[in-house]
Amino acid sequence: MTMNVTGIYRYPVKGFSGERLPEADLQPGQTLRGDRMFALGRPGVVFDVKHPTWMPKTNFLALVRDARLAELDTCYGDATGLLSVHKDGEEMLSADLSRTDGRRELEEFLAHFLAEEISGHPTLLRAEGHSFSDLDAKVLSLINLESVQALAAQTRTATHPLRFRGNIYFDGVPPWSEFDWIDREITIGNVCLKVVKRTRRCAATNVNPETALRDMNIPASLQRHWGHAELGVYARVMGTGTIRAGDQLQLKD
């Protein structure tokens, strides 16, 4: 069977909407450029940006606790440092995250927007070379669309693939077969990656990215029908190169 990359996504601000990319340059042991580059620390959370260490997602604004974030559409400009925030097609904020006043604008906006969920101002965080990933490793998240379709068929519920906030979406392989790739190498285009871990799903996937409603219980559904709460795999980049939507994904012998 021919496997193809159908979409490439990054999430510049942890918990916010993803950005679809036509291509991405990969470097060994790194995430997609700009993926989870920023995070918003919950009020009272202390994070040392000069000596960053991994912290669980519960320390940051994230869909697992803050479903209303899914109401916002965001776009970040690498060259300008501008983060634009839209809701229902209307621009709510354009903030320069390279400037103190711009970061403060975003913090104040979210303190107001999430006033019923949080008490106080979140703190925008960025640490050079650090990714605010859910996993304590620099990896890419791969989602098999056939596995998503199997879940949708079993639950009889339309299941938007972006619930899983993956970096690389692909098709052309039977559902769940990606679990057999652990400790094996794959290539996307001419770039080699090593699959290292299955992705355990949490309550963040219960949030519908189109409505911001918690309208499914995906971990429970996975456990009920397949005896596990996992969908997708993590892979470590082993080589250098550019991947593109439409590239073939191949499992190495």
Residues near 128 by beta carbon (within 8 Å), at least 6 away in sequence: none
pLDDT band at 253 (very low <50, low <70, confident <90, very high): confident
From the CB of residue 64, how many other CB atoms can be counted at a distance below 10 Å?
18
Q: pLDDT of 23-59, one tens digit each?
A: 999 999 999 999 999 999 999 999 999 999 999 999 9
146 and 242 in one domain?
A: yes
Same domain (yes/no): 166, 225: yes
Return the biggest CA–CA distance within the chain: 53
pLDDT in tens, 127-149: 999 999 999 999 999 999 999 99
45 closest CA partner among 65, 29, 59: 59
- Residue 69: its pLDDT value, please? 98
Average pLDDT over the chain reads: 97
User: What one-character DSSP code corresponds to residue 42?
Assistant: P
Residue 102 included in any domain: yes
Q: Are residues 236 and 143 in the same domain?
A: yes
**The predicted structure's pLDDT at residue 41:** 98
Q: Are 167 and 119 within one domain?
A: no
The pTM for the full model equals: 0.96
| Residue 217 domain-assigned (yes or no) | yes
Query: What is the domain extent for residue 171?
Result: 3-31+135-251
**Residue 75 — very low, low, confident or very high, per pLDDT cuts 50/70/90?**
very high
Tell me the mean pLDDT in the region 102-109: 98
